[in-house]
Structure 1
Amino acid sequence: MAASETPLRLSDRAGAQAFVQNLLAVMSELESALGRESDGVRAGRIAEAMTGAAAKADLAAAYTTGLETAKANAIALARFAPEGLEALKTAQRRFAAVLETNQQVLATARTVSEELIKALAEEVGKAHTPTVYGRPSHSPSPYGRAGANSGPLILSRSL
């Protein structure tokens, strides 16, 4: 929230209910976006999964602003929309589970990617290491580097 913006103050039942419905809608859309992202990453369609990143960021910002407003108006929400407050708590628990699943999927994908890159680098390094009597050997180099004939490892980030 920008410093010049004044926080939303809930002062009646209609305003509180409208706020709750809006925040629930934002949470639902954000859950859907996270679910699509998780499904895409699980299926290996990383580029497709990341196409909604801008929309997800906007929804996350709206969600964060909504949470700040809810905290600032906790007493008003309890007074004017107690059923809405319970709905928000239930939705928050569901959202936390979806967010945790999404984070686990992304962490797994990151770990698998790192392991693949390490394995690839090891294989490329092994391919250029000469063997003498079955053992890896490095010939002396006037420049003090072993494996001077090996080329750089190139990685495409556009996958």
Structure 2
Amino acid sequence: MSVPRRVLDERPRIASALEAKALIEAVLEALSALSHLVGEETELVRAGRLPEAMTREPRKTELAGIYMRGVEQVKLNAVSLARFVPEQVKRLKTAHLSFQTLIETNQIVLATARAVSESIVRDLAADANRPSRAAGYGPTATVGAGAFARPNSGPLMVSRRL
């Protein structure tokens, strides 16, 4: 999606309804592109396709910057925008609220992925640090069933590509 950067890179004062509409449309377009990308990222993380999700990061950062510059312009021109295009301002507020909901969902999915990966690493560390000798020797020896907790434990292999 192509975002009209020219409108958002400048810091004009809004003096007409046409300029007001152009600013709101540019911010909405940037928000739409950013929302689409965050939605894709959320679905990829949810599906466990983390490397593919990470490829979205540079574009997401770029779009977030464009959107934030647009929001700053909207704030600078709030009075003019409310006077010239009040319906467009309502549209922008509604879109922003929808984006906040999308971001909350994204954060929940990312937190879940982080918790799962931490749990996996913690379990692997516990398994790697568990004694591999038979429990039937030494001062705390137990004899009978279960005396050999982990006979023949082999090397541990961890995949770095999740």
Normalising by structure 1, report the TM-score. Answer: 0.79
How many corresponding residue pairs? 140
1:47 matched to 2:45? The reply is no
User: 1:105: how far off?
Assistant: 0.6
1:72 partner letter:
L
Report the equivalent of 2:76.
Answer: 72
1:101 matched to 2:113? The reply is no
Q: Which runs of 5+ in 1 are unaligned?
A: 138-152
Alignment root-mean-square deviation, CA: 2.4
CA distance in 2, matches of 1:46, 1:122: 25
User: 1:65: how far off?
Assistant: 0.7
Same amino acid, percent of matched pairs: 41
1:17 matched to 2:21? The reply is yes
Matches within 5 A, 1:4-153: 7-126=11-130, 128-133=131-136
User: 1:70: how far off?
Assistant: 0.8
Distance 1:76 1:131, change over 3 A: same
Normalising by structure 2, report the TM-score. Answer: 0.78
Question: Alignment partner of 2:56: what SS?
Answer: helix
CA distance in 1, matches of 2:139, 2:104: 45
1:54 partner letter:
P
In 2, are the aligned partners of 1:130 and 1:136 still within 8 Å (CA)? no
2:115 partner letter:
T
CA distance in 1, matches of 2:116, 2:69: 34
In 2, are the aligned partners of 1:129 and 1:136 still within 8 Å (CA)? no
User: 1:133: how far off?
Assistant: 2.9
User: 1:10: how far off?
Assistant: 1.0
Question: Alignment partner of 2:128: what SS?
Answer: helix
1:111 partner letter:
A
